[in-house]
Structure 1
Amino acid sequence: MKKLFITAVFALGSLTAFAQVDEATEAQDPATETQEQATEAQDAATQAAAQDGFSEIAVEEVPEAVTSMIETNYPGATINKAHKNEENHFKVEVSLEDGTSGALIVDEEGNAVEQ
């Protein structure tokens, strides 16, 4: 009977120790979690662009026709990133002054491309 009681105490003690470890891992810093989520989102966006056949290019490489189309249709917009595929289509990530953002897919002449 003594052995059964001692075994039960040890089992309960070990379960409690594991529970404390789980609580410590769950109580991460909120800033770290937010940073991890942002990194995961950025990685997902990069993979999605690569799967679409687009590869990232410098914003300066975007043709003048595309930048002027964005300036005309979206005054005050800022180009954050640009991607290009083999068909000379450009996927341009744009931020507007009101804080919204989105992506446009256009050809080298600034015409919208249906995907």
Structure 2
Amino acid sequence: MAKQPPAIGIDLGTTFSVVAMLNEAGQPETLVNAEGDRLTPSLVLFDKDQVIVGKEALKALASEAEWVAECSKRDIGHRVFHKAIGGKQYPPEVIEAFILNKLRVDTTARIGD
């Protein structure tokens, strides 16, 4: 019989997001992301040809705020995010999807598929 993957939980927060799982002892364990942190900033940087989520987006907020989407969770239910990013309008769900994808990639690297 194949081993069941662990149960995971995601806190998709307005400012920070986190992933936790139940370990083999049945206790909750917060997972670290690719940067070695337990919390991932819920920010998205639209940088030239790539989208960067987390700590690097947070660093860019001070110098490139017009390219960073922050607090996008607050706009869920609205047609577009409250500010244009690089002259483009994005639905908040698209921005949140970038954050969820980072959490998925980091979690998969930690515990597998």
Q: State whether TM-score is above 0.5.
A: no
TM-score for the superposition, normalised by structure 1: 0.24
The structure with the larger Rg is: 1
Structure with greater proportional helix content: 1
TM-score of the superposition, structure 2-length normalised? 0.24
- More strand as a share of residues: 2
